[in-house]
Amino acid sequence: MVKVATALLAALGAAALLPVAPAQESGPPRPDARRWYVFPGPKPTVYTGRGSAADVSFLQDAPAGRHGFLGVRDGHLAFKDGTRARFWGVNIAGANVFVDHVTAVRVATRLSAAGVNLVRLTRLDAPGAGLFDESTEDTQHLSRQGLENLDFLIAELKKRGIYVYLDLLSDRRFRTLDGVADYERLGQGGRAAVCFNRRLQDQQKELAKRLLTHVNRYTDQPYAEEPALALLDLVNESSLLAPECLESLPPPYAEELRRLFEGWCAANTVKAPPGEVATLLRAGNRPALRFLAAQQETYYRDASSYLRGIGIKVPITGSSYWGTPAADLLSLAGTDFVDRHGYWRSPQGGYSPVGPPATTPMVDAPLGSLPELGRQRILGKPFLVSAWGRDPADGMAADSPLLMAAYAALQDWDGVLQYDYSGPDWSPRMTGLLDLGDKPQLWAQYPAAALLFRRGDVSKARELFLGSLTADEVWAGAAPDAKVPPGTALRRRVATYLEGAGPKPASAPARAESANAQLFVSDTDQLRWQATPGLFTLSSPESVAAVGHAESPVLELGEVTFRLRTSFASVSLVSLDRKPLGQSRRMLLTAVSRAQNGEPAGARDPSSIRVEPVQGEITLKRAANAPRLEVYTLDPWGGRRERLPQLSEGAVLRLRLTGEPALWYELVAAEGAP
């Protein structure tokens, strides 16, 4: 299973607001990067040609909201006019939400070019982020400047076809005049306590009303009436069904929860067992589990009803957490969609480009990988993974974007959003725990990943595997994915039916899973994931990719053959004109490997980021009538840098990657070609 340390995730909550820990100077020797190139290098001032092959903003359907408000239809997210929604996106957290106008324009433009069409704005309520008026002794007054900056960012995103997902409670720290009991010890806005404490619920409702009825001065729409606002969650990453969330409650709240539990037991003719509710939950006590699920479900229902009453039209969910029992999902059954979060292992001690590897690369461990989060999907409900991340400390984080995009498409998910993003441009050094914007091995893959997922280059799986949990199994504390065997989500679509969560399906299609835990082939035959050594390949008419340890094999992927000499890489070739690769007139080749910071700042050579170039040969079979191609390296901003020689033998193009300082290559029909 995907495991995330609770204490660490609390630290991640403030990652966008706290200084980055200095890089560790101990650990095993760093890779020999003497032949790696300095990134990003000097920025050109003038580009030639028409647009960039690395700019996939043509995917955007601008402005956001043009199809009406988002809703739910046939188990998926869809707009009012019936258009299916499929979101590829990022999170922007804390102070990074409240940036100045110049930065907002550059951020929105960069996200659009990368194919992002949904941004989750999270941790708006964190101390010092920008939402609250810091001159007051309460959190009842919103900052004029903060709202102005938020308005402008949302308007700029909307212009470019990028929707917004708002997180309504995350890191709020109450103040003296808020009238909240034991507020100094009530961490993270009382995420768990809000499910049962009336004062906290009233505080949340009042803040939501102020924010959502606020009129955006750049769109002239209240947020509640803004069709570019696509989704809402009530609470970020919390659950009454997670013992650690209850164990952090200050005494007045733990005592209140105990009184509520005793009242519930009396009403249901159950003898209340002694002990704190958190202790009972950890021990698997059934009455405690049923009480907490019922309490959480009531909170979700009442809070959603309030939001509908102030004009909210779009889908609402409760919260997302990890490692909770199936009863947690059951409490979500009355909301509009299911949202899960997960991280491939946990970043340990901050981003450390010189520290010891923190994890096994995800590509080496298919079982329990992030794509398996889909095993927690409820049958008939839209499903998103609105926050996922990958510890970059092992140097092999390049394995994650294409894996997530490909399997999200195979599973027919409604959205995938990585945590987190900041910055209007490349940075001179990689910083932050999980920040995408300054990591070339990750961000460079976003155009290709957006095409795979949003355009449907990867087909959804043909078959559905349905796991079913009885009510008795749910209240016995079964895991939400207990009836979906590991690895199933890498081969076919998966979902779970929970007794009590809607009508039971007439039939439950399910097939015994293959015992082969070393090779996972999708039932579409487009995706293959080998466990040892980790190697993922994708082959569709418009896209091919190889991710992982691809140094020795000759990989034949339809019309394309990869012969790579770089030990760990992610390489993809995607059509930009929707034609098959053998006929396409314009394609984007993305080739990334490892990246690391140069010497620590202040050293003789503080040379920013060093990137390992990808080397090898790519062969592309072309149709007889396909135009002759030219190949250009692109700079980190997508501009053409130099034309490369290529060997053509009849209808076969051979391109040799010899260590060029490039993340992207453009393959384009030669000028004058028919």
Amino acid at 49: G
Mean pLDDT of 571-598: 95
Confidence of residue 510 (pLDDT cuts 50, 70, 90): low
- Of the listed ranges 59-68, 85-94, 99-108, 383-392, the one predicted with least confidence: 383-392
Here the tokens at position 170 are: 């995350």
Check if the beta carbon of residue 98 is closer than 8 Å to that of residue 150: yes
- Of the listed ranges 5-19, 80-94, 508-522, the one predicted with least confidence: 5-19
Here the tokens at position 215 are: 């009129």
Q: Which residues pair with 90 in a beta bridge?
A: 119, 418
Here the tokens at position 494 are: 């998966």
Give the number of C-alpha atoms closer than 13 A to the C-alpha of residue 123, restricted to the C-beta side. Answer: 26
Residue 310 and residue 305: Cα distance in Å, rounded? 9
Residue 265 and residue 258: Cα distance in Å, rounded? 10
pLDDT digits (tens, 9 = 90+) for 161-186: 999 999 999 999 999 999 999 999 99
Residue 407 and residue 494: Cα distance in Å, rounded? 11
The total of other beta-carbon atoms located within 10 Å of residue 121's CB is 21
Residue 222 and residue 226: Cα distance in Å, rounded? 6
Confidence of residue 149 (pLDDT cuts 50, 70, 90): very high
Check if the beta carbon of residue 195 is closer than 8 Å to that of residue 296: yes
Confidence of residue 356 (pLDDT cuts 50, 70, 90): very low
The total of other beta-carbon atoms located within 10 Å of residue 263's CB is 12
What percent helix, strand, coil does the chain show, rounded to 5? 25, 25, 50
Q: What pTM does this model have?
A: 0.92
Check if the beta carbon of residue 485 is closer than 8 Å to that of residue 454: no
Instruction: Select from 587, 641, 577 the least CA-distant residue to 49.
Output: 641
pLDDT digits (tens, 9 = 90+) for 585-597: 999 999 999 998 8
By CB neighbour count within 10 A (0-12 exposed, 13-18 middle, 19+ buried), where does 602 fall? Answer: exposed
The angle formed by the CA atoms of residues 566, 38 and 618, to the nearest 5 degrees, is 30
> For position 517, what pLDDT does the model report?
83
Check if the beta carbon of residue 446 is closer than 8 Å to that of residue 437: no
By CB neighbour count within 10 A (0-12 exposed, 13-18 middle, 19+ buried), where does 554 fall? Answer: exposed
Here the tokens at position 671 are: 């000028």
Residue 220 and residue 266: Cα distance in Å, rounded? 51
Here the tokens at position 365 are: 């461990």
Task: For the chain, give the mean pLDDT.
Answer: 89
End-to-end CA distance of the chain: 52
> For position 158, what pLDDT does the model report?
98
Give the CA radius of gyration of the chain.
Answer: 25
pLDDT digits (tens, 9 = 90+) for 523-562: 999 999 999 899 999 999 999 999 999 887 899 999 999 9
Instruction: Select from 510, 605, 617 the least CA-distant residue to 562.
Output: 617
The residue among 346 and 477 whose pLDDT is bigger is 477
Q: What is the DSSP letter of 671?
A: T
Burial letters 63-72, b for 16+ CB under 10 A, else e: bbbebebbbb
Instruction: Select from 409, 381, 415, 404 the least CA-distant residue to 496.
Output: 381
Q: Three-class SS of residue 221?
A: strand
What lies within 8 Å, CB to CB, of 109 at 6+ separation is 160
Amino acid at 231: L
- Of the listed ranges 95-109, 433-447, 505-519, 621-635, the one predicted with least confidence: 505-519
- Of the listed ranges 228-237, 387-396, 576-585, 618-627, the one predicted with least confidence: 387-396
Residue 481 and residue 513: Cα distance in Å, rounded? 14
Report the percentage of the chain scoring pLDDT > 70: 89
Mean pLDDT of 338-354: 66
Region at 74 (left for phi over 0; alpha for psi -120 to 50; beta for the rest): left
Report the percentage of the chain scoring pLDDT > 90: 78
> For position 669, what pLDDT does the model report?
92
Q: Which H helix or E strand runs over 205?
A: helix 198-212
> For position 505, what pLDDT does the model report?
77
The angle formed by the CA atoms of residues 339, 94 and 300, to the nearest 5 degrees, is 35
Residue 144 and residue 373: Cα distance in Å, rounded? 39
Q: Which H helix or E strand runs over 150?
A: helix 144-159
pLDDT digits (tens, 9 = 90+) for 184-240: 999 888 999 999 999 999 999 999 999 999 999 999 999 999 999 999 999 999 999
DSSP string of 421-454, one letter each residue: ---SS--SS--SSS-STT-HHHHTTHHHHHHHHH
DSSP string of 525-560, one letter each residue: SSEEEETTTTEEEEE-SSEEEEEES-SS-EEEETTE
Mean pLDDT of 401-430: 95
Mean pLDDT of 624-647: 90
